Chains A and B, each alone.
Chain A
């Protein structure tokens, strides 16, 4: 690559940045959007439960039944949104979605508990959110049993389960999700910006003008992708800064390792973006195609859904997914502080997938553009 070539790539870069800068709203969105995504992901994504709306039908109306309900609310997992003595009200609360859990304490509950004849109560859960229901049932069972054990004259539980969570003792899903958002954001930026920017030039007809310049295909591709690679990296820094300063996600690893991984990952993102630009004639198509690529890539990456719970076929498929490898690296670096030694396979996978995708897209781009 001679000096002229570098000069020509530089000119294209300048043109691209001028174009982005001329639309200040776009420039703002490019940097604000990732932060919004990060904040929403950081706060919204969690399968734990808290303050689950609970409806109580207390037909016993005794001191004991009130204390039992209190044990539920004191745990913090349940919060009472309504009380009644009629079971029909409970049904209606579940139907309207006002409550997710219903507790019915029947008449004679306290008496049965005191008499040692085995008290009964009913816990009803709306299963339409299967997650919340699973976790809520686990907590409810636990609260009821320890309440019962206490009441039955200090009777000891047969089994005491102590729980410990490693790497993330408070089980905050935030620490797991926030680093992963980087993978999603870099991919989205690369896909949308690259594909739309190229297709726009084709739609407006300025791509033909670029063709008649002395630019070689390689220079054109480099000039069109490098700006978005830089924007992707800048977004990465913004997201990392927010993750560390705002969400206080622990960072135990090496920043340089993260940067190398991100550059390798960018290759795949740019390759996919460029590939979409070669098969789309309009920006509408490019937008929809980007989304069509983005969704499976993210959903099958282990971002929100663990790869190990997928059917075997899909687990194999995820090996072809650059985001999966990138997320393993990012999470490894952030949460476990592991380095190249533990993650070299993922690095190799990223490098291979990236160069294949970019090479293939570049080849197609030459054919369709020239």
Chain B
């Protein structure tokens, strides 16, 4: 490996990048847009659940229960309905996500120490929101139930579960999303930046010019990587700064550890991009492959938004092959848990392994011979 030839390739790539300012701008605009969208526009927290009320009891107890729902702040009550038959049309038209039905004997049963029934009818078509709405409903009903017992003859509640949440006490989805997003963004940006570089040279015919020079495969691959590592790291810094300052995501760990492991992950991701580029040889094909091999797994199979434990076994096994899965543990660990290298030992080694494999794949598959 000749350092000067490597340097020359890197310089050529930088010059090319500088001429293509729009791609460069996009490399920063894309992470920024994703961060702002996830930070401001979307959240998993289900709020303002449109709730319709069918209070057939109209007693002090039923009003107490409704107040408990109201006080939680998750529900937004529309005008009460009078008949069971109204439930259907409300849900059909999407006017309500949740209908709370309190039967006529509710107050009487509670008063006489019997079990009173309450019904929650939820629009299940958005199962994700419905699951969370039901979790809220359950918690409120449970609390009310306990209170009713304490008010009555039973003095002591049998078991108290002291629930505590660590690392993200208020359970804000932003705190979960932003550190995870950094892992996803790096995978996307890295793949986008490099997945076209070699295919482009093939399409434009400049690969023949490269082939005529004495540069080796490793020199071309490493030379092409260097400028993109710099861009990727700048993206990481931007995301961390925005995440902490703009969105107030706690950062408990070491910045240096995050940067070191990010660099390692970046090298692997960029190498993967070059690998795709070398295999595809056509930019159109490379974009399609990049979407399937990098973006999709990083977005869906990394545990970024959706828990891996729920997936079918086969898909769970597949997630072990997704590098972003491990990097996500790193970013969340450093941001939210403040853990250090001792806890992240395995993930750290995997990051280094990813870098080595990514580079090896790129160098191994890349051929400059003209076929």
Contact = CB atoms under 8 A, between A and B. Distances in A.
Interface in A139-176: 139-142, 144-145, 147-149, 151-152, 155-176
A331 interface: yes
B18 interface: no
B369 interface: no
A137 interface: yes
Contacts of B291: 33, 188, 192
Contact of A50 (B30, B126, B310): B310
A140 B161 contact: yes
Contacts of B179: 128
B120 A163 contact: yes
Given A166-B122, A284-B23, A25 B285 contact: yes
Contact of B45 (A126, A144, A147, A309): A309
Contacts of B196: 283-284, 287
Interface size class of B (residues with CB under 8 A): 35 or more
Contacts, number: 386
Contacts of A52: 307, 309
B131 A47 contact: yes
B191 to A, nearest CB: 10
Contact of A176 (B91, B119, B125, B137): B125
A370 interface: no
B91 A47 contact: no
B26 A152 contact: no
Contacts of A172: 127
B93 to A, nearest CB: 8
B165 A113 contact: no
Interface in B44-98: 44-48, 50, 65, 91-92, 97
A254 interface: no
A2 to B, nearest CB: 33
Majority secondary structure, A binding face: helix
Contacts of B170: 127
B165 A158 contact: no
Contacts of B119: 161-164
A128 B332 contact: yes
A336 B164 contact: no
Interface stretch (A197-205, A215-223, A348-356): A197-205
A149 B284 contact: no
B283 interface: yes
Interface string B315-345: 1000000000000010011001101000100
A243 to B, nearest CB: 15
A258 B326 CA distance: 40
Interface stretch (A233-241, A264-272, A299-307): A299-307
Contacts of A135: 131-132, 135
Contacts of A310: 41-43
A64 B4 CA distance: 72
A311 B128 contact: no
B159 A144 contact: yes
A165 B138 contact: no
Contacts of B164: 122-125
B146 interface: yes
A63 interface: no
Contact of B127 (A123, A175, A203): A175
A226 interface: no
A89 B203 CA distance: 57
A132 B141 CA distance: 20
Contacts of B175: 127-128, 130
Contacts of A51: 309-310
A145 B146 contact: yes
A56 interface: no
B142 A145 contact: yes
B25 to A, nearest CB: 9
23 contacts: A29-B289, A29-B292, A47-B306, A50-B309, A50-B310, A53-B309, A97-B332, A97-B333, A118-B156, A120-B162, A121-B162, A123-B163, A128-B176, A131-B173, A152-B154, A152-B158, A159-B142, A160-B117, A168-B125, A197-B284, A288-B27, A309-B45, A336-B125
Interface of A: 23, 25-26, 29-30, 33, 36-37, 40-41, 43-53, 92, 94-97, 113, 116-135, 137-142, 144-145, 147-149, 151-152, 155-176, 188, 192-193, 196-197, 200, 203-204, 280-285, 287-292, 295-296, 299-300, 304-306, 308-311, 314, 331, 335-336
Given A29-B288, A29-B289, A192-B288, 6 more contacts: A46-B307, A97-B332, A140-B163, A141-B142, A171-B124, A283-B284
Per CB-CB distance, the 5 closest pairs between chain A and chain B, nearest first, are: A165-B124, A127-B168, A138-B135, A148-B158, A168-B124
